[in-house]
């Protein structure tokens, strides 16, 4: 999900989607599901519900718990089926028009859609649609999908949906709502996650299994890459209209985005992150007194590092849980200012100690540098920084919040330059092979990578059509559309 800004070409967002069909309190269930997925989007949220006659759509800035509360929620959003969305940007001013789900009255009836991911040909599609007279109300690439559905010459809504998806490229997990069905879809590569669940006979679609756990739903299965799930009063139907491709789920779900209590491809995210730390300790050992995680995302890897190294694990940094992730601050200045509010040193653990700091990743390096200085000022004698992911050298174009290549620390610096910049005694990263081992005990196939590892290798799993326009000079700059 990316903001289309003529003056900016930075990647910014990741989101969460949720849908329910056949529950009398669909809006409440959706709000609870979105609450479980709050880590995937903290700037805005929305719910669309259908009561059998009318669609009801609410979109708000802020957190789910602030927007969708009160005894009147079911009066505001009545109906037995609903979809919801969390939005997760890091720049720009929030606008209601860019909050999902988005809704339109089509000639085949009302239709609402919510989208996690990013389309890599949305700009070119938007240009073609505008040339044909389409009028856009937002800057979201999700609206491109809505226009493609509207203009399809197919008869049934499911056929129109398939027709639209056949024209888009990139990574996506979609949930959509018509007057008689809930639809879910996952991109053919499987970049963005989507799962199917059951709550007392009501069908559930969600970005992660943690949303199923919170509402007490049973996990049925993952939606397969390229699969379309259609839920009606007659039951659940699976469509596989697209030619099979080599699948490559995004490794960054394991590294950072997914909640640690979620399951992806049958694997515990927590256990994978613990194994990342275990392998990190084997590949980049350090002579130290204490292992300290950068909370919260560095905790599982730090535990694995401590177990493998035999060095004690301690909470040397205390996180203020009332401050959001630094990734979601609108500007770099805000990100830097929030770090001191977000983390505090536990001086009793750090003073006069040789410390191994373990974090999930290093992106720009600004947060890491400030944390190192904080730990040093708390009295640490040595600081050895370890990243539980490989160096991030390439931007993502599929919806993950990540800066341009020029801003990525590992893209513009050598390992020694990074060590000097961070002011640490040693610096180590998990290798790509180590990450593959942690995820599935496999070695990376260089010809057909089993996972989307483009942020580390530059090996992108789909065509980057909009980006190619810029490279040949057809556009002044790269800019993608918000989803």
Pull the structure tokens for residue 347. 């001086």
Which has the closest alpha carbon to 9: 470, 455, 329?
470
Which has the closest alpha carbon to 170: 186, 185, 187?
187
**53 CB-near residues (< 8 Å, 6+ apart):** none
Pull the structure tokens for residue 182. 């809930």
Q: What is the dihedral of CA 344, 345, 346, 349, to 10 degrees?
A: 160
415-422 vs 366-377: helix axis angle to the nearest 10?
A: 50
Give start and end residues of each alpha helix (H) in 73-215: 73-76, 122-131, 142-151, 157-165, 209-215
Which has the closest alpha carbon to 483: 37, 123, 197, 177?
123
Q: Please say if 250 is a catalytic residue.
A: no
Which has the closest alpha carbon to 452: 416, 406, 402?
402
Q: How far apart are CA 152 and CA 159, in angstroms?
A: 9
**235 strand-pairing partners:** 232
CB 320 within 8 A of CB 343: yes
Q: Output the known binding site for Mg(2+).
A: 297, 359-360
Pull the structure tokens for residue 246. 């080599």
CA atoms within 13 A on the CB side of 16: 30
Q: Which of 15, 45, 210, 455 is catalytic?
A: 15
Q: Output the known binding site.
A: 297, 359-360
Q: What are phi and psi of 482, to 5 degrees?
A: -65, 140
Catalytic residues: 15
């Amino acid at each position: 999900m990316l903001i289309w800004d003529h003056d900016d070409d930075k990647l910014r967002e990741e989101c969460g989607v949720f849908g329910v069909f056949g529950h009398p309190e669909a809006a409440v269930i959706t709000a609870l599901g979105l609450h479980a997925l709050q880590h995937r989007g903290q700037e805005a949220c929305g719910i669309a519900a259908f009561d059998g006659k009318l669609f009801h759509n609410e979109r708000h800035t802020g957190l789910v718990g602030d927007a969708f509360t009160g005894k009147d929620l079911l009066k505001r959003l009545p109906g037995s089926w609903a979809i919801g969305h969390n939005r997760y940007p890091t720049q720009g001013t929030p606008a209601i028009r860019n909050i999902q789900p988005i809704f339109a009255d089509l000639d085949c009836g009302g239709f609402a859609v919510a989208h996690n991911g990013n389309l890599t040909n949305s700009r070119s599609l938007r240009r073609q649609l505008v040339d044909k007279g389409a009028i856009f109300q937002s800057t979201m690439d999700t609206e491109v999908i809505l226009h493609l559905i509207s203009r399809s010459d197919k008869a049934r809504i499911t056929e129109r949906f398939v027709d639209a998806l056949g024209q888009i490229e990139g990574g996506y997990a979609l949930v959509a709502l018509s007057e008689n069905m809930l639809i879910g879809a996952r991109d053919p590569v499987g970049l963005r996650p989507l799962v199917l669940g059951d709550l007392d006979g009501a069908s559930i679609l969600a970005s992660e299994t943690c949303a199923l756990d919170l509402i007490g739903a049973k996990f049925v299965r993952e939606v397969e890459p390229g699969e379309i799930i259609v839920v009606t009063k007659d039951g659940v139907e699976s469509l596989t209209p697209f030619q099979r491709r080599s699948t490559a789920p995004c490794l960054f779900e394991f590294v950072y985005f997914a909640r640690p209590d979620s399951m992806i491809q049958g694997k515990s995210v927590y256990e994978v992150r613990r194994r990342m730390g275990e392998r990190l300790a084997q590949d980049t050992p350090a002579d130290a007194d204490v292992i300290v995680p950068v909370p919260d995302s560095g905790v599982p890897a730090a535990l694995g590092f401590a177990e493998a190294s035999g060095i004690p694990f301690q909470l040397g940094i205390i996180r203020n849980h009332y401050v959001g992730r630094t990734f979601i601050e609108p500007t770099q200045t805000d990100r830097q200012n929030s770090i001191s509010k977000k983390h505090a040193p536990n001086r009793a653990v750090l003073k006069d100690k040789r410390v191994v700091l373990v974090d999930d990743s290093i992106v720009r390096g600004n947060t890491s540098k400030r944390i190192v200085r904080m730990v040093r000022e708390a009295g640490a004698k040595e600081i050895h920084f370890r990243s539980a992911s490989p160096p991030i050298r390439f931007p993502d174009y599929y919806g993950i919040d990540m800066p341009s290549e020029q801003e990525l620390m590992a893209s513009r610096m050598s390992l020694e330059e990074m060590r000097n910049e961070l002011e640490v005694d040693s610096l180590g990263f998990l290798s790509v092979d180590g990450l593959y081992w942690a995820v599935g005990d496999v070695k990376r196939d260089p010809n057909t990578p089993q996972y989307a590892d483009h942020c580390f290798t530059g090996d992108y799993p789909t065509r980057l059509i909009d980006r190619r326009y810029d490279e040949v000079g057809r556009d002044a700059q790269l800019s993608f559309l918000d989803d």
